[in-house]
Amino acid sequence: MNKILQYLKINGERLDTDIAAAVGLSLAAARIELAGLSSQGEVMSCHSIKFIGGHKIEGMSYRLSGLMPKAAPGRKAS
């Protein structure tokens, strides 16, 4: 579980397939660990559908709980 948390801390929001490949787990094992982390409130998850190169990719997207992404550069709201 610590490998998954460290990976998400460094890389931000990722799909379950990316997480499994990066930490060296099978997709089924990664999903079980991610479900446990989600039930403990360590990570947030949502169903994600992406289209890359015209192909539909479905999966679960995960990120650390309480971690807000940095604001995009540009003009600030007035």
Q: Where are the domains of the chain?
A: 2-64
| Residue 49 and residue 56 in contact, taking contact as beta carbons nearer than 8 Å | yes
Stretch 54-62: mean pLDDT = 91
**pLDDT at residue 19 tops 90:** yes
CATH class of 2-64: mainly alpha
Out of 23-32, 48-57, 60-69, pick the least confident.
Answer: 60-69
CB 15 within 8 A of CB 61: yes
pLDDT for residue 11 is more than 70: yes
Residue 30 has pLDDT above 90, yes or no: yes
- For the chain, the C-alpha Rg in angstroms (whole number) is 14
11's enclosing H/E stretch is: helix 2-11
Residue with tokens 């929001």: 13
Task: Output the CA angle 29-35-11, nearest 5 degrees.
Answer: 80
